[in-house]
Chain A
Amino acid sequence: MIIYGTALLAACHLVGIYLGDLLGKLLGAKSNVGGVGIAMLLLIFCRLWLHNKGHLKHETELGIGFWGAMYIPVVVAMAAQQNVVAALKGGQVAVLAAFAVVALNACIISVINKMEVHEDVDNVKNVATHQA
């Protein structure tokens, strides 16, 4: 049944966020620490476990897949409720800080991701020398 999938998703969501709250309290962070991430990991483990047991029916998967596919429309709705007016009026400090952070982070991301290509090249080289 489709609802099994949606219920599994809901259970992972709730348990994950609860654990995130708990972790936040434990660490004194005054916020949720990685609740959604924990929920995602739970769902990944549940899928692997159910799949190995042969309990994962196509219908069950549909109950989760639907919500995954709703993701982009939900993000559009999220964009539609940002405080864009305040952001555009935000004052020089806010605008400058935000731009500087994004620009610098973009460079760091680019550098780190560049290393990935190098690793791949190295691996290919290693394989090549190995074969030679």
Chain B
Amino acid sequence: MMEMLEKLMISNALVFAFAFVGIIMLLSTQLAKRLTNGRVHASAIAILIGLGLAYWGGTQTGGKMGLADVKLFGGIGLMGGAMFRDFAIVATAFEVHAEEARKAGLIGAIALFIGTVVPFIVGASIAWSFGYRDAIAMTTIGAGAVTYIVGPVTGAAIGASSDLMALSITTGVIKAIIVMVSTPALAKFLRLKTPRSAMVFGGLAGTVSGVSAGLAATDRKLVPYGALVATFHTGLGCLMGPSVLFFATKALVG
């Protein structure tokens, strides 16, 4: 019996994932209502449950894909993978008020630029203070502080070792998770209320995953504005990391 059930779930992985995430959403909506009186957004709780399950999956399998590495939950990997994620993000653009987005275009671009340079400097400086004194190590860790994709792309381009790349990816993943978890709590401090403020947030907070989950847990209406800017983050980072930022670091530390 159990074996048949397991087979059914594995051969219908994506369908099972839809049902499973539906249950998580139902659970988190009830938790939000009953435990927090609606103060904490249901999506925030759902994302935390997701991260918790990812931790559990990681300890079970020793893999890198959280829950998706558990055979039974392979469908989660497809449902939350880059293809569906990007498809759903693009779909949210349908709700964008073109005029609002255009008005905040410039400040969004400025935020994007600051959001690439500042994390790099902070990341590289902390790497330096921990004894990573050569330009390649500092650049790779600094790039990881931009996003967890910029890190390895930059590292590969400038010839960093694999343990440096791993450290840089980890920095980016931790950043994304902190943004996901802390955004709803910091929403007031960040003044996340308007489309413009969401675009500034998207540019500065970086990482599509962090921004999209953080905004989803704060105010679903703001998601497309933040995502619109954040999706340029990785591209700009991969552009500047192995070039301008690497050369600047090299000029500074030799």
Contact flags (1/0) for A21-63 with B, using CB distance below 8 Å? Answer: 0011001111111111101110110011000000000000100
Q: How far is the CA of A50 from the CA of B192 in the complex (A)?
A: 31
Residues of chain A within 8 A (CB-CB) of B52 are 84
Cβ of A100 under 8 Å from chain B:
yes
Contact B101 A44 (CB under 8 A): yes
Residues of chain A within 8 A (CB-CB) of B149 are 31
**A31 touches which of B98, B153, B206 (Cβ 8 Å):** B153
Contact A36 B167 (CB under 8 A): no
**A82 touches which of B54, B126, B166, B216 (Cβ 8 Å):** B54
Contact B80 A78 (CB under 8 A): yes
Q: How far is the CA of A34 from the CA of B234 in the complex (A)?
A: 8
Q: How far is the CB of B20 from chain A (nearest CB, A)?
A: 9
Q: How far is the CA of A82 from the CA of B68 in the complex (A)?
A: 9
**Known contacts A61-B94, A79-B213, A84 near B177 by CB under 8 Å:** yes
Q: How far is the CA of A86 from the CA of B65 in the complex (A)?
A: 10
Q: How far is the CB of A129 from chain B (nearest CB, A)?
A: 23
**Known contacts A36-B90, A100-B122, A78 near B85 by CB under 8 Å:** yes
> Could you tell me which residues of chain A, from 68 to 126, have a CB within 8 Å of some CB in chain B?
68, 70-88, 90-102, 104-106, 108-110, 112-114, 116-117
Contact flags (1/0) for B169-208 with A, using CB distance below 8 Å? Answer: 0111111111110100010011110101100110011101
Nearest-neighbor residue (CB-CB) of B146 within chain A: A101
Residues of chain B within 8 A (CB-CB) of A29 are 235, 238-239
Stretch of B4-12, B56-64, B246-254 at the chain-chain interface: B56-64
Residues of chain B within 8 A (CB-CB) of A66 are 91
Contact B51 A84 (CB under 8 A): yes
Contact A109 B87 (CB under 8 A): no
Residues of chain B within 8 A (CB-CB) of A106 are 182, 186, 189-190
Residues of chain B within 8 A (CB-CB) of A84 are 51-52, 54-55, 58, 66, 177
Contact B55 A74 (CB under 8 A): no
**A79 touches which of B166, B180, B204, B239 (Cβ 8 Å):** B180
**Known contacts A83-B66, A91-B170, A98-B145, A77 near B79 by CB under 8 Å:** yes
Contact B231 A76 (CB under 8 A): no
Residues of chain A within 8 A (CB-CB) of B209 are 75, 78-79, 82
Q: How far is the CA of A73 from the CA of B87 in the complex (A)?
A: 13
Residues of chain A within 8 A (CB-CB) of B88 are 67-68, 70-71, 74-75
Interface residues on B, range: 35 or more
Q: How far is the CB of A71 from chain B (nearest CB, A)?
A: 4
Residues of chain B within 8 A (CB-CB) of A9 are 87, 90-91, 94
Contact A87 B177 (CB under 8 A): yes
Contact A93 B167 (CB under 8 A): yes
Residue positions of A touching B, CB distance < 8 A: 9-10, 12-13, 16-17, 20, 23-24, 27-37, 39-41, 43-44, 47-48, 61, 64-68, 70-88, 90-102, 104-106, 108-110, 112-114, 116-117
Q: What are 14 A-B residue pairs whose CB atoms fall within 8 Å in the complex?
A: A9-B90, A17-B86, A24-B239, A33-B236, A36-B90, A71-B92, A75-B47, A76-B46, A77-B84, A80-B66, A81-B68, A84-B66, A93-B171, A110-B190
Residue positions of B touching A, CB distance < 8 A: 17-18, 21-22, 24-25, 43, 46-55, 57-59, 64-68, 73, 76-77, 79-81, 84-96, 98, 101, 107, 111, 114-115, 118-119, 122-123, 126-127, 130, 132, 141, 144-145, 149, 153, 156-157, 166-167, 170-180, 182, 186, 189-192, 194, 196-197, 200-201, 204-206, 208-209, 212-213, 216, 220, 223-224, 227-229, 231-232, 234-236, 238-239, 242-243
